[in-house]
Chains A and B, each alone.
Chain A
């Protein structure tokens, strides 16, 4: 079937490609099967390909809409932290990269925290946005997770964290490494309060994020196909000088190796979380668990998770 993919498809695209461009990107190609999906269908399906089931990266804000009961949540304003503690500059200044990410996403950093109801249960959800500097963890993300944990304790809520991150933020150097300790303390505070801490590993979760709060969940759930690991695949390939096994570091691979509890389709994620929380806390959900609130229609110009800056997106070692 390769000739279909490699020859026929580009030819077809050549024929229709121009029209597609002028239509204002109403269509999206699935990066996995290259199927063309209408934008509003993609939103309705929470960015899961309706042809092959591929789970595309989901913006943190859309994640919240998808998980909470309809209109039953509030985002939390996070503490300001020192910006650019190292006065870091590579080929560009860190402050410039930050500003650019802030302008592009409208967020102050890579973590969004919200509290509200899910199936009637109190939950706090903290989600990392990969489109903000690769979802990397610096002081702000660490502080945000502490805020989320403490809010959960105060509200007697379950804490759900959705990492999607390349790892520690190099531009904050050692202070980003220290967030591994700080976020671990956040998890402990929730645990000591006897509250559930559930991690939903989304694509990708690597580096210092995996090696701290992301792997400490009472329950570890992963989205299908998500890359989850410590070292980056390229680093490993260079070290062992061999090709990596099929499916390496995918959610299903981790499931096979006993590292996570389950792989759950995005459309069943909300129900699963509600069920698990109900079981852990020995109560029954109040709301109709079967319904998934439809994502609000968003304008076609809404940017997809950007891969413009893969430089920052790489995990640390």
Chain B
């Protein structure tokens, strides 16, 4: 493991000790081996304890973890013959959104997802997953392409939010998002969205007004970032983010209860970044299942069901 979060420090210390013991020249010594397995047991127990009671703020940090698998990791592992398609045909290509054709478990699909990048260079290239109008317009173009060729659409959501910039505003950021939501809602093909990390506000729902919305256990999905909310309602972005994260009800469990998402995909012990391959496979299975359930519906029914789902949302609130 490389990047530890603050609340993972006790686990990190234990793992450090384990690493040290392993490096000893006489690590084959039965005594040391015994100590090693004891420490490993302890580390796992501690990790289990830590992850069984993560607060909303801690989940926010896990959701943003730099080692968490991102859209390109999912595409690499789940999509065969991936053929990226670029550009909005109006202004430019937006690298914050990756999109293209591919084969998912044997069938052609259109895949669209936010990509945050993995190191400084790629993060800048992908603008930290913050799309501009051209990104949403590209997404819209590809959704329409899917509609025409009757291909299911899979979207992967992982964005801090739409990019707040002068040029993005000048080119109609709000309109681009509104049209993207509109296109999601009008599709006559199955649309399955997965919140794989951070579901940041309008930039997220632009791709996620879907038939089925799946969400990884430690992902978050919110109308505003905890920091933004804290700065506006608490007038304190540094100390109140924790309280804001709690109040916003942005965890997968909360959102399932509110009916905003359809299914929580459990993460391996220690979060998706602990076992990316296992996580990606689980997401793949969940998408396959969701598409299977939608496969019996015709185009009209897919659109009507999707609408009905959003029309019913928020009408009954669990007490």
**B292-319, CB under 8 A of A: which get 1 and which 0?**
0000000000000001001101111100
Cα-based distance from A314 to B204 in the complex (angstroms): 20
Q: In this complex, what residue of A is CB-closest to B309? A: A181
Report whether B173 and A174 are in contact in the complex, using a CB–CB cutoff of 8 Å: no
Binding site for B on A (CB under 8 A): 81-82, 85-86, 88-91, 139, 142, 146, 168, 170-182, 184-185, 187-188, 207-208, 210-216, 228-232, 235-236, 239-240, 242, 244-245, 248-249, 253, 257-259, 311-312, 314, 316-317
Binding site secondary structure of chain A:
helix
From A175, A236, A314, B314 is in contact (CB under 8 Å) with: A175
Cα-based distance from A179 to B315 in the complex (angstroms): 12
Report whether B222 and A174 are in contact in the complex, using a CB–CB cutoff of 8 Å: yes
Return chain A residues, CB-CB under 8 Å to B202.
Answer: 177, 180, 207-208, 211, 230, 316-317
Q: In this complex, what residue of B is CB-closest to A83? A: B317
Q: In this complex, what residue of B is CB-closest to A240? A: B165
Known A180-B202, A208-B201, A248-B169; contact A317-B315, beta-carbon cutoff 8 A: no
Return chain A residues, CB-CB under 8 Å to B209.
Answer: 180-181, 184
Known A81-B315, A85-B258, A231-B162; contact A181-B310, beta-carbon cutoff 8 A: yes
Report whether B225 and A90 are in contact in the complex, using a CB–CB cutoff of 8 Å: no
Return chain A residues, CB-CB under 8 Å to B1.
Answer: none
Cα-based distance from A242 to B284 in the complex (angstroms): 43
Q: How many A-B residue pairs have CB under 8 A?
A: 192
Q: In this complex, what residue of A is CB-closest to B204? A: A177
Report whether B316 and A82 are in contact in the complex, using a CB–CB cutoff of 8 Å: yes
Of the candidate stretches B149-157, B179-187, B262-270, the one touching chain A is B179-187
Report whether B172 and A215 are in contact in the complex, using a CB–CB cutoff of 8 Å: yes
Report whether B165 and A230 are in contact in the complex, using a CB–CB cutoff of 8 Å: no
Report whether A317 and B228 are in contact in the complex, using a CB–CB cutoff of 8 Å: yes
Cα-based distance from A249 to B248 in the complex (angstroms): 29
B305 CB, nearest partner CB in chain A, Å: 12
**B195-229, CB under 8 A of A: which get 1 and which 0?**
00000111111100100000000000111110011
From A176, A210, A245, A249, B223 is in contact (CB under 8 Å) with: A176
In this assembly, does B69 line the interface, its C-beta being within 8 Å of a C-beta of chain A? no
Report whether A239 and B175 are in contact in the complex, using a CB–CB cutoff of 8 Å: no
Report whether B310 and A90 are in contact in the complex, using a CB–CB cutoff of 8 Å: no
